[in-house]
Structure 1
Amino acid sequence: MEDTFQYDKLVILNNVYQNAIPETNIRIQSPHIKTALYPHQSDMVLGMRAYRDKMIHGFVIGNRAINGKIGIIGDSYGSGKTLSALAYLATSHIAPTTTMTCELTPHSSTYFFSHDICTLSETSTNLIIVPSHLFNQWRHEIDTHTTLSYVPIETKKQLRGEQLTNTILRSSFVLTTNKTYKAVQEYASEHNIQWNNIIMDEASSIYMNSSDPPLHFQFLWLMTNNWLPLLFKHSLINKNTLLHLRNRVNLHPELEEWLQRDSANSAIYEGTLVSSMFLKEYMPFFHPQRNIMVLRNSAKNMSKSAAYPIIRSETIHCKPHISLQSLASFYLARNREPTIPNSSIPHLVQALGMECKTGPDYISTQHASKHQLIKRKMIDNECMICLEPCNYMTIVNCCHNTYCGSCLLRNTVMHPKCPTCREVLYLTSMCCLTPFEDTTIVRTKTEICLELFKKNKEKRFVIYSSFDNIYYQLFEEIDKLGLKAERIENNLFSQRKTLKKYKDGIVTILFVSNIEMLRGLSLLSTTHLIFYHEQPSFELKQVLIHSSQRLGRKDPLTIHYLHSEIQV
């Protein structure tokens, strides 16, 4: 039963990739669109028009006749979906038509049903619903790339007067937010305004209240690169499980790559449909042909259509912060026996603050009566725990016996006493006799960040940190460099103010701890992206990267991964 469920999921995903929009040589350009469309955007517009026509009039797959009023614009991050949607609206001319709606009437059953006859009148236009934090960005895109007439409604106060109705009906569309949608829909119902197309941006992450009025439309477009939660009611996917079933399906190369990508570290994909209570009435979560809803360009088509600048990335190893107590907690939390590899000893010795000296230097600090004993132990070079030659020889001050660095640390984590004489061991009573200056890391993450800022004062930085306190730790030092830094806060007006300063160059360093607040935003002026902490989710990491690596970018993006964890 479980295999059948996973197999069905794999088939749906594979069909999405197999049914990518075909590449064409047809290029459309509405006079209302000032910016030339990329080939993949033109293909998307043509695909949307063909898809809507096909779904409204119905078509046959196997022994099923398919109709529908919903589609998903599912191109990848930063690929210009906004302009594609605007170009589609610019080319979809509204004409009074009488057609049978695909919706069953409320009184219908499986065996006796009816459809209403719907007339799309002159009192109709289009509606675009966007998350509040993207409202200004949409307005900028519309004003920059189009000459379309539209009505932006961000607050309820704007919904006043009869003149507004005429303005709405003369416009190409209404632009509003998820927070204002309820008031807009109530106004539209009161003034008999119909929606031809409704486009919902960031459909999988936008928040719509379950008490909001239902959507009334001739066609609904859900726009998101994260379309999996729109196909599966429970979008928890174990990539390894699906890979085990690949012999039963002719896997598309793009799907196979996604399933194999970083499967050792993040084999579980767990998507969330934030507005599931609102959208559940519109989504066919259990229909076997629901994959046809997703319209997307193939990766091959995307790479031929638009060339992104390269991404330069580097991993910088930083001085770790660790103690014997935190090491013990690390193993206890994972219910593991302490196993410290020899390769980690140089970093551990430095992180723990242990002394590291040459043999002669160590002898010179000890009492003369102990010199011969110490020399003999060093010549014997035998670990008193494993009885093998010492790896990273470490000596204790109590009985001057020698040990492998990993053996002694493992013993100290479990029992903080000398393995031989049972004296209590402290880090100050141990000394590593194997110098390793070449592998020593002396700079902390904070020091590396400040060095990057100092060397690149004219550049723009976005720093991801799991914790807000990193901003406060660095703020004073950044201020001393004569630079301005601010933190992205979970407040709409504060966020807009900060982003405007960043785009104007007043603020050059942005700190972010909640990547969801950047979803869909365009930060093209960013030159350096710093991962102060590792982001475990591949999908969220891509959201942050593609807030800067977007269509229209000219200069390379540099990504710095600050790594201080020791693999133990």
Structure 2
Amino acid sequence: MNGIESPLFEQLRVINTVFENAIDEEPSDYPELYSKALQTLQNTHLLKTHLMPNQSRLIASMVVHRQRMRNGFVRNGQMMRGKLGILADPPGSGKSLAALTYLMPHVQSLLDPDTIQDNELNPNSNRYFFSHGVSNHRLDTSCVDILIVPPHLIQQWTMELETHTRLEYVVLDNRRVLRNKTTPSLITNSKLMIIPTRMYKDVYDFCQDQQITWRHVIIDEAAAAHISPNDSLPSFEFMWLITSNWLGFLFKNVYINPHDLEYIRDRIPLNTDCEVWLDAMIKQDATISTPIEASNFIRNLIPWNHKERSALILRNSSENQIVYPSVESHTIDCAVHFTIGTIPQLFIKNNYEGLTHEHLPLIFKALSVQEYSMDRIKEMFDSRLSLIKEKEADDCSICLESVQHRVMLPCCMNFFCGACIFKHLLSQIYAKCPTCRADLYFPNMMYVPDSTNQDVSSNPVLNKHETCVDYILKHPLEQHIVYSPFENNYYQVYPKLQERGIQCELVENHIAKFNKTLASFHAGTTKVLFISTVEMIRGLNLTHAKHLIFFGKCFSYEVYNVLLHSVLRVGRKPDSPLKLVHLRSCLE
């Protein structure tokens, strides 16, 4: 009807198009260029590392995509032309090295080696008319490639360059460098400049003053690249965005619920990879949030309403993607300890609705309530044995039902349901016994567990902090990553590990200290890395870790994937499985 799609149908159609257009074979429009790009990658002196097949296909597709966007192409009746591409392979699949290889001269020689075109629309362009300059700038020493990365990833990119390539580069990570007289020559001689996102405006204005032309602009972790919307709009030849959150570049401010897409999946013939993806999302019960956290600078780059905007995304098909090492996942049940004054809200709720018969044995266990057997009680109150036998078969005088999880009060020898008498105790300031009106105190309650409830005594006795320390001490020579959204857990565990000689550090939002912590972890000095801020490890390479410990249930699908793929990525040995540990409270 008038070409208007329902939001759900549009979501499924666009997502399916991404999977259909995944890199699988050589393109039909530029087969020779694609083949030449693959052949060129086989021989280069600027690479120290052999490229994997998925990286080679991605680089060749980048060359073809750039040619398409510069010349213009038609897809499903929609004409497209521009200077933007999105690298959207899964996290840890080698996108960084692919982007660096794409910048190498032998790859760039495939496309107009002597000139660059800015293709900027001029002010005369409007809805019915567009015009842009076609004058070519000479590719001389004033042309540089720009790599814009989050501050915490600068060290990793320099390691990537030193380890895998022989490219010359310069890092501008503070504004003082721009005041040096030698900086312009350093930039033009290196041909590759790495800058943090916060310095984008200063560096661009500096390059404009020095008549330095930006050729390729690559933004890493583009979905979270914070660039001020007030900064100047740059002029460049082509821009590449590196991200694993490709859904964030298809839909603006949308929450995608896979269960909703399941209802309309029969309306579109889905690609096999799309079906697998949708089934996996439904199985994980994931709700995907797509709003890009970056500034308007990034938001304004994407044609959000274009029906074929998925053509901007380059990603390998599932058959061509890397195979991650195996994951051994298991859960460790932990005890909980609290007092009457710190009972979790889970059990209090409104009018203590959470204090149910099912929860009571675990609550009493957490409160360290002493347990008694009937033989022990009869032995303690031998003089009142006849009264105990008389009261033992009575119903609870509060709920008037059969007694569950019996609690005896020594004042009158009456038996009550554990949940009933405990709720009665908590709901009154000065609690009295419901039958004899004697003063009621928590230590007076004598809990008699049922014979069918004896398995509660086998519950774990170590809480999460003690369990975490105990697990790490079993593998003292291996490296661990511990995630908890609360930093307080680090300060609870830190002293116990330090006493045993195990070095542990917390990832903090301070770049200098962060780089020092990361270097210590890569060197093997730091054995345990505590993480509470996921944004500080987004895109990081932490493949040295053999254990990933979650301090409780991880409720965020995105947080879980960021942590998992910081460990499972290119560079991890195939014979080194990851041990994934969930510390679960017995009350969760």
Q: TM-score, normalised by structure 1?
A: 0.89
Question: Retained in 2: the 8 A contact 1:328–1:413?
Answer: no
- Alignment match of 1:21 (pick from 16, 19, 23): 23
Quick one: distance in 2 between partners of 1:230 and 1:467? 30
DSSP 3-state at the match of 1:187: helix
DSSP 3-state at the match of 1:356: coil
Question: Retained in 2: the 8 A contact 1:486–1:511?
Answer: yes
Is 2:96 aligned against 1:79?
Answer: no
Quick one: distance in 1 between partners of 2:330 and 2:439? 42
Quick one: distance in 2 between partners of 1:333 and 1:249? 45
Q: 1:69-218, aligned counterparts within 5 Å?
A: 69-90=83-104, 91-93=107-109, 95-97=113-115, 101=119, 103-123=120-140, 124-159=143-178, 164-218=183-237
Partner AA of 1:503 in structure 2: H
Question: Retained in 2: the 8 A contact 1:236–1:270?
Answer: yes
Moved more, 259-268 or 245-254: 259-268
Quick one: distance in 1 between partners of 2:185 and 2:284? 56
Quick one: distance in 1 between partners of 2:427 and 2:220? 54
For 2:336, the equivalent position in structure 1 comes to 320
DSSP 3-state at the match of 1:199: strand
Partner AA of 2:131 in structure 1: S
| Alpha-carbon distance, 1:300 to partner | 3.0
For 2:365, the equivalent position in structure 1 comes to 350
Quick one: distance in 1 between partners of 2:135 and 2:357? 71
For 1:67, the equivalent position in structure 2 comes to 81
Deviation sequence 1:290-310 (CA, Å, 0-9, x none) = 1111111233321xxx33222
| Alpha-carbon distance, 1:135 to partner | 0.6
Partner AA of 2:545 in structure 1: T
Question: Retained in 2: the 8 A contact 1:352–1:427?
Answer: no
- Alignment match of 2:580 (pick from 546, 559, 563): 559
Q: 1:396-545, aligned counterparts within 5 Å?
A: 396-403=409-416, 405=418, 426-428=441-443, 429-434=445-450, 435-436=454-455, 439-545=458-564
Quick one: distance in 2 between partners of 1:177 and 1:413? 56
Shift in CA distance, 311/501, structure 1 to aligned 2, threshold 3 Å: same
Moved more, 258-267 or 523-532: 258-267
Question: Retained in 1: the 8 A contact 2:66–2:83?
Answer: yes
Deviation sequence 1:369-401 (CA, Å, 0-9, x none) = 3323334554x3855566666554444444444
Question: Retained in 2: the 8 A contact 1:34–1:147?
Answer: yes
Shift in CA distance, 316/133, structure 1 to aligned 2, threshold 3 Å: same
Question: Retained in 1: the 8 A contact 2:374–2:448?
Answer: no
Deviation sequence 1:435-494 (CA, Å, 0-9, x none) = 436532211112112212322221112221222222222222222111222211111101
Quick one: distance in 2 between partners of 1:489 and 1:470? 14
For 2:310, the equivalent position in structure 1 comes to 291
Q: TM-score, normalised by structure 2?
A: 0.86
DSSP 3-state at the match of 1:287: coil
Moved more, 61-70 or 254-263: 254-263
- Alignment match of 1:44 (pick from 38, 45, 58): 58
Deviation sequence 1:69-120 (CA, Å, 0-9, x none) = 111111111111111111211222362347682x432332101321221414
Shift in CA distance, 76/284, structure 1 to aligned 2, threshold 3 Å: same
DSSP 3-state at the match of 2:134: strand
Quick one: distance in 1 between partners of 2:349 and 2:25? 52
Quick one: distance in 2 between partners of 1:241 and 1:192? 52
DSSP 3-state at the match of 1:314: strand
Quick one: distance in 1 between partners of 2:407 and 2:181? 85
Deviation sequence 1:518-558 (CA, Å, 0-9, x none) = 11111122122221233311111111122122111122222
List gaps (5 residues or longer) in structure 2.
27-34
Is 2:12 aligned against 1:10?
Answer: yes
Shift in CA distance, 262/164, structure 1 to aligned 2, threshold 3 Å: closer
Question: Retained in 1: the 8 A contact 2:357–2:404?
Answer: no
Shift in CA distance, 331/391, structure 1 to aligned 2, threshold 3 Å: closer
Question: Retained in 1: the 8 A contact 2:484–2:532?
Answer: yes
Partner AA of 1:34 in structure 2: K
Deviation sequence 1:258-316 (CA, Å, 0-9, x none) = 555575985532244232322233111121111111111233321xxx33222222211
- How many aligned positions are there? 560
Shift in CA distance, 163/335, structure 1 to aligned 2, threshold 3 Å: same
Question: Retained in 1: the 8 A contact 2:327–2:578?
Answer: yes
Question: Retained in 2: the 8 A contact 1:182–1:212?
Answer: yes
List gaps (5 residues or longer) in structure 1.
none
Quick one: distance in 2 between partners of 1:255 and 1:424? 66
| Alpha-carbon distance, 1:317 to partner | 0.9
Quick one: distance in 2 between partners of 1:400 and 1:287? 77
DSSP 3-state at the match of 1:56: helix
Moved more, 421-430 or 504-513: 421-430
Identity %: 34
DSSP 3-state at the match of 1:496: helix
Deviation sequence 1:214-241 (CA, Å, 0-9, x none) = 2221111000101222222213223333
Question: Retained in 2: the 8 A contact 1:20–1:295?
Answer: yes
